[in-house]
Structure 1
């Protein structure tokens, strides 16, 4: 009885170590965050897959003036002493400078051209 119990205990311990080791070395997949078949992606943001017609496909791209408005509204909520400086086209997004009262660049904020989403650059 004692011999069988020892084998069973070591078997369970071995499976537990193997299971935790597998999770530790393979890691958690971000796409699994929304469950099987869910539309998950990096940072748990739903991703559009394939060439499906969706809300992003029908919307026109964000213009530079709209990007200025998006950034200025965001900054006004956080700190009214800051203001938006120059906005540059950086490919898939616009790069906006956030300036202090002394006209020093405090932060660079990106505005995605397709979604209008804000992102910190530096």
Structure 2
């Protein structure tokens, strides 16, 4: 009787160890479950807060929206800097970053379709 109880106990314990060990391989992972364009993926733009699929249905950025994106970015990185002129450069807006002495220290671009920021110079 003791040997059969021992065999049953070892069998149940073995099945439990196998079930726990295989769980990570059969359960969906959070990153994989989100699909293409999930937050943090290559098509996610935090400025617009929408993945690429949604951008196709949204209108292009206006100059005011681009100004808001750049000013938030500059204010977060260095509150001493301010936003200068914004020019339309075709597929993106070109924004001047100005120092306290009113000199242009950086040109940044804001893509009209995605809202992504890019350094121009």
TM interval, shorter chain, is: 0.5 to 0.7
Instruction: Give the structure 2 partner of residue 98 of structure 1.
Output: 97
- Runs of 4+ aligned residues of structure 1 deviating over 4 Å after TM superposition are none
Q: Deviations over 1:26-85 (max 9, x none)?
A: xxxxxxxxxxxxx8xxxx934xxxxxx931210110000000000000000000000000
- The structure showing larger relative contact order (alpha-carbon pairs under 8 Å, at least 6 residues apart) is 2
Aligned length: 77
Unpaired segments ≥5 residues, structure 1: 1-38, 47-52
Instruction: Give the structure 2 partner of residue 58 of structure 1.
Output: 57
Q: Is the partner of 1:45 in helix, strand or coil?
A: coil
Q: Is the partner of 1:85 in helix, strand or coil?
A: strand
Work out the CA distance in 2 between the residues paired with 1:107 and 1:54.
31
Instruction: Give the structure 2 partner of residue 81 of structure 1.
Output: 80
Question: With structure 1 as the length reference, what TM-score do the two structures score?
Answer: 0.57
Question: With structure 2 as the length reference, what TM-score do the two structures score?
Answer: 0.58
Work out the CA distance in 2 between the residues paired with 1:79 and 1:57.
33
Q: Is the partner of 2:56 in helix, strand or coil?
A: helix
Greater Rg over alpha carbons, structure: 2
After TM superposition, the structure 1 = structure 2 runs for residues 1-122 of structure 1, keeping only pairs within 5 Å, are 45-46=42-43, 54-122=53-121
